[in-house]
Structure formats: structure tokens, C-alpha cells
Chain A
Amino acid sequence: MTSMSGGTEAWPALLPEGLLLLGAVGGLLLGLWTPQQAQWRVRLLVTAACLASATAGAVAMSRPDERVFEGTWVVDTTTGVVRIVVALGVAVLVWLAAPSVAGHPRETEAYVLMLLGALGSVALAAGGDLLLLVAAYLLASVPLYALAGVAKDAAGTEATMKYYLMGAFAGVLLLVGVAALVLASGTTGYPELAAALPDASPALLALGVLGVLAGVAFKAGAVPVHFWVPDVTAGTTPPMAAYLTTIPKIGAVAAAFRLVAEPFAGLPLDVPLLVAVLATASMTLGNLAAFSQTDVLRLLAYSTVSQVGYLFMVVAVAARTDLAGPALALYLAAYAVTNIGAFAAVAATPAARTITDWVTAAGRHRRLVGSLVVCLLGLVGTPPTAVFVGKLAVFTAAWDGGLAWLVVVAAVNTVASLFYYLRWVAPAFAGVPVAPVPAEGPVGSGARTSAGTRQEVRRSPEAILHAAAVGSVLLGVGAGVWLGVSGAS
């Protein structure tokens, strides 16, 4: 199945990534000669690159799995899924960001950085070598620091700082972990590691596994390296928050999946348990912390932490069951669609920070509310949305992998998550402003809070929200089609 190949003949296998890179470089060059108000050209170019990359990725899925560049780059189902989801996600997110960055002097650079970050995310997923993982980590991190602070206001730069420092810390941990694994095996390629690691010293392995997973978990926003998620999400602009909580996570979860499935599969350590604990902690902490949030962005941020918990369930059983692969493919796509939708709802009314603000601003737009309801209930896992199908697959896989207790934990967590989503849904649906919430946190009182002000609802985020709602349902109903396309079935 997996054919090893190196040298020049492997280049076609990197076509989707090449297209992304081409889009980035081309976009930057185009931007150099583009007037400030006409940077939508770059947006079009970037979108085209993304769509082309996704198409190329989809076409590539029909080919058999292969490892290229001496095994450092794996082209298989997981890579394919991430390629398509990330590329399409960026194509959408570019337009989600458009209203807030249009005409900005750095608009071109923002789009290019988004593409580069996407490339990093794909590289994370496709990496078949620890060093490539580190490189991909860099590529998936650096552009995002800039994106978080693209507004360059106080909150944005604080977000950038925290993101950067946490990222640097996690990167260092990742390198320590890689070093430990190199010490244990002398090599960095996944297949070689899978062969060498089982005989190595458990202490060294524990350090290595933990370090590597910490780095990946940082990108995924999982406990205990999740601290950046709420702060960065709340500090940056909503479209960028959508980007930061969606794109890198996809690659990171795929990377974790690959790690657990390949090099960490035969270890004398209970890696699945470690991942299961990470999953439990993430979903529980995310849900609990979101429980009484009044800031919509922070609420969504914590919700993404909990979503990563569900995603990590399937990572935990990556090596144990055949059901894991399809489950990952389903949940990743579902998460991307739904999460982008939820953030789009916030991006539609960027000045609204609290639930009350949001309801005041958008409550009259019934269809907007309707789509938001679909997305939020989708995040809960209400059928027939995509996340439901994903959750079903994930639960089934986790149980089949011997982690029935994790399924119960996840089910309980799902109920808990219902609380805070409904705290947003109910007043929005009822169409009346909720009672003023006392003791608003200091975050909500920032410069961008304008409680109760009526404001325009932005068009393109609204359209994206509707599309996400429809997409969430369609993906749920058409799960079989998606699995067929992604070749995961």
C-alpha cells in the first residue's frame, strides 16, 4: 500500500501544498502593486488558490496512500481530509475576515499569512517525521501570532503576546520531547520510531511522548496548554478568532492522531490513557468554564476547548480500532463547519461582546438567529447536524477502543455543554433582551463593548453563518458521501 519514494518524482504529491504556497507568494506579490482599496484582488487570488488546493487534494485522495521524501511526508486519508477541510476553511475564512480587514493597509499580508498558517496546518497533519512536525509547528504558529494581533490594538497585542509566549513555551517543550525521542531511538522518522521505541527506556519515552503531545496539544488548544485559547479568542477580532480556533486545530489533531497511531502505538506506556485524560480534562474544563460566560467569544473559545476534548477521544483510540479513522474524518469536517458558523455569528455583529449585546444587535434578524441555533445545537451534537454524526462515530470508536468510561464522560459533558449554548440560544430565540447581567467581567468592558447599541449586521459573515448552518446539516445528512469522498469508509 504505502510506497516509499523520494527524489523528484514525489513532487506531484505535494501539488495541493504547492498551490497554497503559490497562492501565498503570488498574493504577496500581487499586493505589492495593488491599491489599498483594491486588495480584494488578493482575496480572490487566495480564494482561488485555496479552492484549487482543495480540488487537488480531493483528486489526490483517489490515489493510493504514499509516503514521499523518504517517509517524511505522508499522503493518506487523514492528510487528504485535512487538506480539503483546511483549504476550504481558509477560503471561507478569508471572506469572513473581509469586512473587518477590507481596506486595511495589511489586508494583503493578512490573507497571505492565513494561507501560510493553513500550509503549516496541512504540514502538521502530513508530517511523518518528528523534525518535520517541528518545522510544521513553526509554520503553523508564526503567521498566527501576527494574525492574532493584526488589529494592533491593546487587546489584540496582548493576545498576540500571550499566544506567542505560550507558543514559544510549547515549542520548546516539543523540542525537548523530540530530543528525548531522538535520544531513545536515534531517529526521527515515524516508521523507524515505531520500530525502535518499544524497546527504549520508559522514562525517556514518557518525557518524549509528553513533550511532543504538549506541543501538538498547544496547537489543538487542549488542556493543559489551552490557556491561550480564551484570551486570544477574546482579544483578537472575531474572524481571526474563528481562524485561530479552527485551522491549526485541524492539523494538530490530525498530527496527534498520526503520532498515536504510528510511533506511539506499541509503547510500554499507556499513551491512550494519557490522551483520554487529556480529552476528559479538555472537555470538562472547557464546558465548565464556558458555563457562566457572558462574553460570546470567550464562550465559544471554551467551547472549542471542549470540542478538542471530543476530538482527542478518537486520538486516544487511534491505534486500537478501525473506526477511528472515519470518525476523525467526520468530526474534523463537522467541527470546522460548525465552529466557523458559530464565530461567523459573532463576526456579523463585531461590536457585540456579551450575549445581551448580541441579542440586542442581532435578535431581530430571525434567520440569523435560526442559523445560529442550528450551529450552536450542532456544536452540542444535536442530530442531524454534522457534529452529531461525528460524535456518534467518535463515541462508537472510543467504546470500541476500550474506553467506554470516556464515552460516558463525554455524554455527561455533552449535557453540560447544552447549558451554556442554550443560555445564548434562548434569549436570542425569544427575541427579547436578557436581563442585565450583573458583575460583568472586565473583559466585556473593553473598548469594543457597546452594550445595547443597534448596529448593522454584516453581510458576508451572515451569509457564511447561513452557509455553515446549511452545510452542517448537509454534512450530517450526507456523512456517507463525505466519507466516500474522503475515502475513509
Chain B
Amino acid sequence: MLLTVVIFLPLLAAAVLVASPGMSGRSATGLWIAASAADLVLVGWMWWRFEPGTGASGVLDGPAFEADLQWIPTVDAGYHVGVDGLSLPLLALTGVLFLACAVYSLREPDRPRTYAALFLFLQTACVGTFASLDLILFFVFFDLTIVGMYFVIAGWGHGNARRSALTFFLYTFIGSLALLVGFIGLFLGSEERTFDMVALAADPPLADSPVAGGLVLLAIGLGLAVKTPLFPFHTWLPDAHTDAPAAGSAVLAGVLLKLGTYGFVRIAMPILPDAWQRWAMVAVVVGVISVLWGAFVALAQTDVKRMIAYTSVNHMGYVLLGLGAAGLVASADEGARTVATVGAMYQMVSHGLLTGALFLLSGWLWSRGHTYAFEQWGGLARPAPVFAACLAVAAFGSLGLPGLSGFIAEFQVFTGALEAVPVATVIAVVGILVTAGLFLLALQRLLTGDTVAPGGTDPGGEPGAGRAGEGRAPARAGAVSSVATEVPPATGIRDLRGHELLAIVPLLALAVVLGLFPRVLLDVLEPAATAVVELVAR
């Protein structure tokens, strides 16, 4: 029941928002923040009550806060939700990120009521996906995230937002349909004809038909790979990110991408262990290619947001590397495979926090200058030291500096995966070097040198100028026609404002906490990862 409240509380708030047309923008955002905060508090309570490793943390051993209602009896699909070590961290991440986005959007000038309602709707969809223990329910929420994000990008994006939104929708929708086809395959392949994940994991379908199992895994993997996104299905990502509003990007990168990777851990691995073992090498290869491709392409970007977007491809590649290694049962012992899995799962949370913060920070650039082009900015550390500090912390976190959460993830992925796939891992390790280079380069370009801000805009402008100025702002950040002009230091650009700080700093603080005290998360993750690895090894 508590979990159900957690899932639908945001939706309820969204309904209230939709139903009250007279509500002012400020109070709408206030309600949004309140709802998100309440949701986070509830998730926190669940975390508090959650006892990892005592049965209710595994994949099979009865999840906590479980609820199971029949929905479509003929196909045994139900409203089955629950929390275990796999989902709890991501639930918490969702709560944190959405609250951060709510706070960040405190001064959203453009239709704030609808904006808030959409985000709350998205939150329900995301939380629901992570909590689902039924394939169809999972799919329902999974698909709804696409719908919600489509409207966020199409309605509040900039540049060529509708086009990007359409690409995003189509691409991920194709993926989701592949996923649905795969789910139906699981249903029909299962002994007892059910969509229930727990039952399916307990008695894996298609165990004795490698071809069918492989095809179903292909369909599911395709669907998840588009969402994750993995090379070569990632081309929707940069456009969607570039044109999305900052909070939208943060949610998209921070939470929505995790739906894909979470699907691998939650569905593909435990339910299709044979197929996963057989095709794990493919996951590894795709992961490694994503790592390098993402890193190198990010290095060559001239647009901040595109660069961050590509690093997401890179980071998700690590996840796949870890998960793929977990499937190579024959070539590595269980300890190493578990370490790799834990790392992959840690990466999901870590990437959510850090990339969320990075995208919110890039929103600062847009709100001050309506461009993300590197060449339009420079020397920002002088007028905006707090922004610079936050950006630096986020960048170092993202490049995997120890002391921040990314390190915990990547270290475990590499350490665990090396035994199973030494060559691939050694190649993938190069990724963190390229990432380091590109982030430091970005810091250097944005923060140091002569202070430069895009001309023709009001650099100290109210966030309200965001929408109004959009007409003047060119479509593509890379094709900005306005001339970069040097502005005198200490004038013009305003540093991070209170609500922006309030949104970004907690994310970074959490990244630090998770980097220094990983047990907070690992205590929850490790039993679940152990269970997953055992299930895969069946």
C-alpha cells in the first residue's frame, strides 16, 4: 500500500494541478515541490524500513512493500509491485532527481502548471516502472515515460524541439514495441502463462529452446538498448537532450535512461538466464563500443549539452560491460561477476545524480545566453564562481574521480569484468581517460580564459527571459549567429541563483556521500546483485 502511494502520489498531485486552472504558477510549482518532497520522504521511509539481505531484498525472495492485484486475468497480468535491492536505489534516485527538478523549475515562466503536472506524471511513470514486478505493468509505465517526456520536450524545449521530440518518441516507441513483443514471447514461452516477473524468474521460460530464447532476448534487448541508449541506437539522444529543457534533460538522462539498464537487470538477466549467458559477449561488445564511441564523440563536440549527452552513452556502456561480464559464467568466478554487477547497478545511480546535475548546470548556460556552444562562453569562473565550482565537481564525478560516486561504479565494473573479458575491459578502461580529457577540456574552455558570454542577449536576464528570447535564439546552438562579445568581468552574468543551487548542490552532495560512504547503497545493492548473478548462473 505504501508503495502504491509512492507511485501514485505524484499523479494525484498532477491531477489536482490539471483540475485547477486558476492556480498561479508559483503555487503550482509549490505544489509540485511539496508532492515530490512528500514522495521522497516516503521513499526514505521505505529505505529506512528496508532490511537488506534478509529475504526481502532478493529478486525472488519476496520483495518488500509488495502489492499484487489482478488486472487482466486472461493473460495473468496484474498490478504487482514491490521493492527489492534492485529497485529501491533507483526509486530513491527518481525521488531525488524529480525533487531537484522541481526546485530547479521554481521560476519556470512558461505554463508552469502544465509543466509541473507533466513532471509529476513522469515521476509516477518512472517510479512505477522501477517498482513493477509484472511485465505488462512495467511496459505500461515504461511507455508512459516516453509520452510524458515527449510532451516535455515538444512543449518546453528550444531549438527544433518538436522535431527532436518526435524523433525521441518514434525511436523509443519502436524500442518499446520490440520490448512488448519480447514480453509476449516470454508469456507464451512460460510454463504457466504469466506476465509476473517473480514467477517467470523462478521458472525461466524458453529454457530449452535456445533459438526462441535468443529471439526473445533480441527483442527485449533491442527495446532496452534504444532506451539505454547503446551504440548504434543512440542517435536520438543528443538531439533530444539538446532541445529539451534543462529539467527535462536531467530527468531524461538521470532517470529515463536507467529504465533501459534496469530492464536488463530486472528482466533480461533473471528471466532469460540461458540466453543471457549465451549472448553475454554481445552485451560486452556493445558495451565497450558504446564506451569508446560515446567518449570519443563527446570529445569532438562543440556543444556542451551534446557532449554531456554523449558521455551518457559512454557511461551506459560501462553498465552493459558489467552486466555482460556477469553473464559469462564459465570464464569468471562468482565473486568477480558479482562485483561487476554491483558496479553496473551503482553506475545507474551515480550517473543519474551526476548527469542530472550536469544537465541542470547546462540549463544555467541556456538561461543566461541561449546557447550551449563552447565558443560562445569563456572565463565563467570569474563572474560565476559557484557555478564553476559545481560544474567542476560534477565533471570530476562524471569522469570517475574517487571520492565521488562514479568511481565506485567504474572501479567495480572494471575490476569485476576483467577476469571474464580481459581484452574488452582493458579497451574500455581507456574510456575513463578520454572522459577525463574531455571534461577537463570542457572546464578549461568554459571556465577559464577571458570572460566571454553570448552577445545580443541579456546575460543577467531573469529566467523569464527564457521563453521570450527564444524567438531570437537560433535553432541550433552550434549555428548561433549572434556574435560572441566580451563582457567586462563582474558585470552581466549572474551566478547560480538560490533555487538553482538548491537543486544542484544536493545532487552533488549525494554523489560525494555515495563516493565516500558507498556502503549506504552497497548494503542494499549487494544482496540483490548476488541474487541476480546466481539467477543468471542457473
Contact = CB atoms under 8 A, between A and B. Distances in A.
Direct contact of A and B (CB under 8 A): yes
SS class, residues of chain B in contact with chain A = helix
Give the interface size bracket for A toward B. Answer: 35 or more
Q: How large is the interface on B (under 10, 10 to 19, 20 to 34, 35 or more residues)?
A: 35 or more
B5 interface: no
A479 interface: yes
Contact of B144 (A384, A392, A418): A384
Given A366-B114, A483-B73, A415 B177 contact: yes
B75 A418 contact: no
B399 interface: no
Contacts of B143: 382-383, 388
A480 B177 contact: no
A429 B151 contact: yes
A419 interface: yes
Chain A facing B: main interface SS = helix
A366 B118 CA distance: 14
Contact of A489 (B74, B177, B178): B74
B188 interface: yes
Residue from A382, A400, A426, A489 with most neighbouring chain B CB atoms (10 Å): A426
A461 to B, nearest CB: 20
A382 B140 CA distance: 8
A86 to B, nearest CB: 22
B103 to A, nearest CB: 25
A411 B188 CA distance: 17
B74 A393 contact: yes
Contacts of B187: 396
A472 to B, nearest CB: 14
B70 interface: yes
B180 interface: yes
Contacts of A330: 72
A398 to B, nearest CB: 9
Contacts of A407: 181, 184
A393 B181 contact: no
B174 interface: yes
Contacts of B282: none
A382 B155 contact: no
B162 A426 contact: yes
A382 to B, nearest CB: 6
B188 A400 contact: yes
A408 B181 contact: yes
Interface in B153-191: 154-155, 162, 165-166, 169-170, 173-174, 177-178, 180-181, 184-185, 187-188
A388 B18 CA distance: 24
A107 B170 CA distance: 44
22 contacts: A323-B75, A367-B18, A382-B144, A383-B139, A383-B143, A384-B140, A392-B77, A392-B136, A392-B184, A393-B72, A393-B74, A395-B180, A395-B181, A414-B177, A426-B154, A426-B162, A426-B165, A429-B154, A429-B155, A479-B71, A479-B72, A489-B73
Closest 4 CB pairs of A and B: A383-B140, A326-B74, A411-B177, A489-B73
Interface of B: 18, 21, 70-75, 77, 114, 136, 139-141, 143-144, 147, 151, 154-155, 162, 165-166, 169-170, 173-174, 177-178, 180-181, 184-185, 187-188
